[in-house]
Chain A
Amino acid sequence: MVDLKSKTAKYIGQFIILLLGFFLDGSLKSTFTNLNKPSFQVSLQILLLLLVIMVLHDQKEDNHLFWYSLILGVLYDSYYSRIFGLYSTILPLTVIVVQTVQSYIPESFVFEWSMYFIVLTISMLYLYIIGVFLNLALVDMTRFITDWLGPTLLVNSIIFLVLYFPMTKLINWLWQ
Chain B
Amino acid sequence: MRNFFSNKKLIIFMVVIIVIISTITASLTFSKRRSQPAFIHQAGNDGLGIIGNVVALPINGVRNIGDNFSNLFDTYQENRRLKAHLDDLAQTKAQISALKKENQDLKRQVKLNKTLTDYHQITASVISRSPNNWQNYLIINKGALSGVKKDMPVMSGSGLVGRVVEVNQTNSKVGLISTDKSLSNKFAVEVTKNSGNDTSGIIDRYDKDDNLLVMTNVASADKVKTGQKVITSGLGGLTPRGLYVGKVVKIKKDDYGLVSSIYVKPATDLNNFTIVTVISRDVEHG
Contacts and interface: CB of A to CB of B under 8 A. Distances in A.
Contacts of A19: 51
Contact of B52 (A23, A78, A83, A152): A23
B180 A36 contact: no
Interface residues of B, number: 51
A109 B139 CA distance: 35
B59 A31 contact: yes
Interface stretch (A59-67, A100-108, A135-143, A164-172): A135-143
A33 B131 contact: no
A86 B131 CA distance: 12
B195 interface: no
A27 B127 contact: yes
Interface string B43-84: 011001101100110011011000000000000000000000
Given A19-B51, A75-B44, A86-B24, A26 B128 contact: yes
Given A27-B55, A30-B129, A79 B48 contact: yes
Interface stretch (A2-10, A50-58, A110-118, A126-134): A126-134
Interface in B179-207: 180-182
Contacts of B31: 82-83
Nearest to B130: A80
B214 interface: no
B272 interface: yes
What is the interface residue range for chain A against chain B? Answer: 35 or more
A23 B51 CA distance: 8
B279 interface: no
Contacts of A20: 55
Nearest to B180: A138
A30 B226 CA distance: 32
B27 A30 contact: no
B92 interface: no
Given A25-B131, A85-B20, A134-B28, A80 B137 contact: yes
A-B pairs, top 5 by smallest CB distance, nearest first, are A26-B128, A30-B129, A137-B134, A85-B24, A23-B55
Given A32-B63, A80-B137, A152-B133, 14 more contacts: A23-B51, A25-B131, A30-B128, A31-B63, A33-B271, A39-B208, A78-B44, A81-B132, A83-B135, A84-B23, A84-B24, A138-B181, A139-B134, A139-B180
